[in-house]
Amino acid sequence: MSIAPKQPAMIVFDNVGMRYPNSAHLFRQVSFKIDKGDFVLVTGHSGVGKSTLLKLMAGIELPTGGNILINQQNIGQLHANAMPYLRRRFGLVFQDHKLLYDRNSFDNVALPLSIQGITGDEAARRVRAALDKVGLLNKEKALPITLSGGEQQRLAIARAVVSRPSIVIADEPTGGLDKTAALEIMQLLKAFNDVGVTVVIAMHDVTQVSAIAYRTLHIDHQMVSTLPAQGAIL
Amino acid sequence: MKNWFNQHMHTMQLVSLRLREHWLNTLIIWMVIGITVTLPGLLFVSIDNLQGVARNIKQDAQISVFLKADLNGNLTQRLINDTQALPQVKEVRYVSKDDALAQLSQQFSQKNMLADLPQNPLPDALFVTLVDTQPATVKPVQDALHKRSEVEELVVDSVWIERLHSMLNLGKRIALIFALLLGIAMITVISNTVRMQVLTHEAEIEVSRLIGATHSFIRRPFLYMGSAYGLGGGIIAVLLLAGIVWSLKQPVQLLANNYQSDFQLVFHLVNIGGFILCISTVIGWIAAFIALKQKR
C-alpha cells in the first residue's frame, strides 16, 4: 500500500463475488484497493481467475456480488450506454493480443483513436508517438503477422496507450516470450508507470520479472491476498 | 461536433474503401438490386405515362340529359338553373326539340323525309358540360340529375374515361404489390450481404467493443454499407429505366402517330428517378438495420 497521503483510490473492490453461470465461485468477498500510480501484479496459478479479475476491473465482466468502484464510480450502477466511455479510460493488453491482422501496425494503433472520433493529422501524430515509445516506429507499415512475438506484444501495448489512459491493464503480456523479450515488455510497462500511469498486470510466472518493483495481488482459493511491495532486485 | 463530423466522414471513407476493395461483389449486388428495382419501376413509369394521357384528354365530359315530353317551360327553366348551380358544371346548353329537329333536317338533304313524320319525335334536351373528366366530378352531377323527375334519360359520354381511371387504379395497385414483394427481396439480399460482412469483421467488432466503442460506432459502417448498396442499386435502376424509355420512345411515337396522337413517352427523372433513389437507399438502410438486429 502506498504511504503517501490518501487520494481517492483508482480501483476499489468491495466484497466482490464472482461466479460464471453454472460454475463454482471464482471469488467470494474480495476487497482491495489500487491507488493512482500503483504498479500491481496479479499472480496465481492458471485457471484461478486472474483474467476474470482483470476483466472485472475493466468493466468487461460484471460482478455477481459486491461493488467495484473505478475512480469512485460504481460500475454496477453504470448505465449500459456509459460503459464504452468508462472503457476508454483503460488501456487493455489482451492475453491473445487481439491485433487485427487485416491492417498494418499503424492502423491497429489508430483504432482506439478512431473510436473516439480522432482522425487525420492529430491521430497520425499520436499513433507515431505511441509506436515510437514501444520502438516500432520503423514498422508502421508492417502487418502484425510479419512481426515477432515480442513486437506483436509491444504493438498491442502501443494500441493500449495511444489514447493516454490513466490505467493500463495487461493480461499475461510476457506469455510465450523469452526472458529478454519479457523483460523488455516489463520495462516498457514500468516506464509508463513512472510517468504516473496505473499499471495492473496478470502473470503466473513472477520469476521472469523479479527485476521490477511491484505490489502483488495473489489469488488462491477464491481469495485475493495483498503482498507487500517488493524492491527492485536488478 | 468536430468529432461527430469526423466519425461520419471516416465511416464514409471506410465504406467507400470496402466497396472498392471488393468491387466485383459490389457490382454484382448493385446489379441484382438495380434489376429488382427496375421491374416495379417500369410499371410505375408506364402508369405515369398513361396518367399523363388521361389527364391531358382535351375532350370535356358531357352529360346529355333528355327531358320528359310535355314538360312546361317553368320546370325546364328550374332544372337548367339547378344544374347550372352545381359546382362541377361548366356549361349547360338547352336544345329544344324544335331546334333539334331543325338541326337534324339541315343535316339531311331530303327534308321531306322528316316532314313526313306525324309529329316531332325528338325530346327536349340539356347538354351539360363539366369542368373536367374525373370520376369524382362526373358522379355527383350524374346522381343529382338522376333523381329529378323531369329527366327521362341520362347519357354520360365519359363512361370510358371512368373505365380508364379504374384501370389505372388497378395498375397502380398491381405495381404497388410488385414493389412490395421486390422490396422484401431487396431487404433479404442486402441484409444477408451485410450479415456476411459482420461475420468477416467479427475480430474488429470484438476488439472495438472491448476498448470502448459505442454501439452506434460499431453499427455505423454497416448501416452506411446497406444504404450504399441501396443507393448504388437505385442508380443502376434509374439508368436502366432511362435506357428502356429511350429505346421505346421512337416505336411508341410511331404508334401514336398512327392514331393521330402526338403522345410521347416520358421518364420524369426528378420525380420518379429521385423517388427510386430515396426509397432504395432507405430500404438498404433498413436491411442493414435488420441484419444487425439479428446479430445481437
Which residue type occupies B260?
Answer: Q
CA dihedral A172, A199, A140, B222 (to 10 degrees): 80
d(CA A62, CA A52) in angstroms, rounded, equals: 10
**Contact at CB, A92 and B214, closer than 8 angstroms:** no
Residue in B with minimal Cα distance to A93: B211
d(CA B15, CA B28) in angstroms, rounded, equals: 17
d(CA B227, CA A200) in angstroms, rounded, equals: 43
A98 in contact with B, Cβ within 8 Å: yes
**Contact at CB, A94 and B210, closer than 8 angstroms:** yes
For residue A58, the chain B residues in CB contact (below 8 A) are 210
**Percentage, residues of chain B above pLDDT 90:** 26
* Chain-centroid distance, C-alpha A40: 10
Which of A87, A95, A96, A159 to mutate: most B Cβ within 10 Å? A87
Residue in A with minimal Cα distance to B3: A117
For residue B208, the chain A residues in CB contact (below 8 A) are 111, 115
Residue A82 has pLDDT above 60, yes or no: yes
Give the residue from B43, B20, B23, B40 showing the smallest Cα distance to B31: B23
Per-residue pLDDT band at A1 (split at 50, 70, 90): very low
Class of residue A98 by CB neighbours under 10 A (exposed 0-12, middle 13-18, buried 19+): middle
Residue in A with minimal Cα distance to B205: A100
For residue B207, the chain A residues in CB contact (below 8 A) are 98, 100, 111
A118 in contact with B, Cβ within 8 Å: yes
Range with lowest mean pLDDT among A148-157, B100-109, B230-239:
B100-109
pTM for the whole structure: 0.72
What's the mean pLDDT in A21-46?
A: 83
Residue entry with cell 358522379: B139
- Write the residue in A60, A86, A117 that is nearest to B210 by C-beta: A60
A88 in contact with B, Cβ within 8 Å: yes
A164 in contact with B, Cβ within 8 Å: no
**Contact at CB, B210 and A92, closer than 8 angstroms:** yes
- Tell how strand A223-230 and strand A214-220 pair up: antiparallel
A145 in contact with B, Cβ within 8 Å: no
CATH number of the B62-157 domain: 3.30.70.3040
In angstroms, the separation between the Cα of residue A148 and the nearest Cα of chain B is 20
A62 in contact with B, Cβ within 8 Å: no
Residue B56 has pLDDT above 50, yes or no: yes
Instruction: Give the model's pLDDT for residue A212.
Output: 62
For residue A111, the chain B residues in CB contact (below 8 A) are 204, 207-208, 211
Instruction: Give the model's pLDDT for residue A233.
Output: 34
What's the mean pLDDT in A182-208?
A: 84
What's the mean pLDDT in B119-142?
A: 80
How does the average pLDDT of chain B come out, rounded?
Answer: 84
Q: Give the pLDDT confidence of B148-206 residue by residue, as tens digits.
A: 888 888 888 767 777 777 888 888 898 889 889 989 999 999 999 999 989 988 889 99
- Write the residue in B4, B203, B217 that is nearest to A115 by C-beta: B217
Are the CB atoms for B61 and B137 separated by under 8 Å? Answer: yes
Are the CB atoms for A42 and A205 separated by under 8 Å? Answer: no
Instruction: Give the model's pLDDT for residue A155.
Output: 94
- Judge if ipTM > 0.85: no
**Contact at CB, B212 and A84, closer than 8 angstroms:** yes
CA angle B187, B191, B194 (to 5 degrees): 145
Per-residue pLDDT band at A7 (split at 50, 70, 90): low
Residue B1 has pLDDT above 70, yes or no: no
A5 in contact with B, Cβ within 8 Å: no
In angstroms, the separation between the Cα of residue A34 and the nearest Cα of chain B is 21
Range with lowest mean pLDDT among A51-60, B38-47, B102-111:
B102-111
Residue in B with minimal Cα distance to A100: B204
For residue B209, the chain A residues in CB contact (below 8 A) are 84
In angstroms, the separation between the Cα of residue B194 and the nearest Cα of chain A is 18
A122 in contact with B, Cβ within 8 Å: no
Residue A232 has pLDDT above 50, yes or no: no
The CA–CA distances, whole Å, from B152 to A112, B66, B124 equal 87, 6, 10
- Write the residue in B204, B212, B215 that is nearest to A85 by C-beta: B212
Range with lowest mean pLDDT among B13-17, B101-105, B193-197:
B101-105
In angstroms, the separation between the Cα of residue B292 and the nearest Cα of chain A is 18
In angstroms, the separation between the Cα of residue B191 and the nearest Cα of chain A is 23
Domain boundary assignment for chain B: 2-57+162-295, 62-157
In angstroms, the separation between the Cα of residue A178 and the nearest Cα of chain B is 26
- Write the residue in B2, B9, B212 that is nearest to A115 by C-beta: B212
* Chain-centroid distance, C-alpha A3: 23
- Write the residue in A115, A117, A119 that is nearest to B211 by C-beta: A115
- Tell how strand B151-156 and strand A223-230 pair up: unpaired
Q: Give the pLDDT confidence of B20-47 residue by residue, as tens digits.
A: 888 998 999 999 999 999 988 888 888 8
Are the CB atoms for A155 and A136 separated by under 8 Å? Answer: yes
Residue entry with cell 527485476: A211
Q: Give the pLDDT confidence of B198-211 residue by residue, as tens digits.
A: 998 888 999 998 98
Range with lowest mean pLDDT among B138-152, B184-198, B235-249:
B138-152
A-B contacts at Cβ under 8 angstroms: 61
